[in-house]
Amino acid sequence: MSLADNIKNIREEKNLKQIEVATHIGVDKSAYSKIEKGLRSLTVEELQKMAQLFNLSTDQIINYDGKVPREVVMEDKTAVEQMRLIQQLDDEEKQTIFKLIDKMLTNKKFKDFFQKNIAAL
């Protein structure tokens, strides 16, 4: 698929009209129509504005594989599935998550400790 096809497919999947995308990226409807037909090139700035509107990265638009990624919600997953999803992250992102969990567990221990000791007074 071409970039033009990708843009058209994403726009349609997001239920946007050509005029809405054209207005957002700062071109008229006929210029936008030419983008979707592959008759007009896209500037980097236009692609960045389009990515913002579509809530995708420019890379996701360029390498579009036919399905706009859906939001991932961790809370309705099993613990095993949550860990599998975390393992998909890069090392730096994983370390950030584990540091956050460490901090929350430490805070919980302190709260529990103080509640227990205050109740004993």
- State the pLDDT at residue 98: 92
Task: Report the mean per-residue pLDDT for the chain.
Answer: 88
pTM metric for this prediction: 0.56
- Report the candidate in 9, 19, 25, 105 with the shortest Cα–Cα distance to residue 62: 9
- State the pLDDT at residue 116: 86
Burial of residue 34, with CB atoms counted within 10 A of its CB: 0-12 exposed, 13-18 middle, 19 or more buried: middle
Question: Would you say 58 and 47 are in contact if contact means Cβ atoms under 8 Å apart?
Answer: yes
What is the rounded CA–CA span in Å between residue 1 and residue 102? 45
pLDDT digits (tens, 9 = 90+) for 7-63: 999 999 999 999 999 999 999 999 999 999 999 999 999 999 999 999 888 888 888
Is the pLDDT assigned to residue 76 strictly greater than 70? Answer: yes
What share of the chain has pLDDT > 90, as a percent?
59
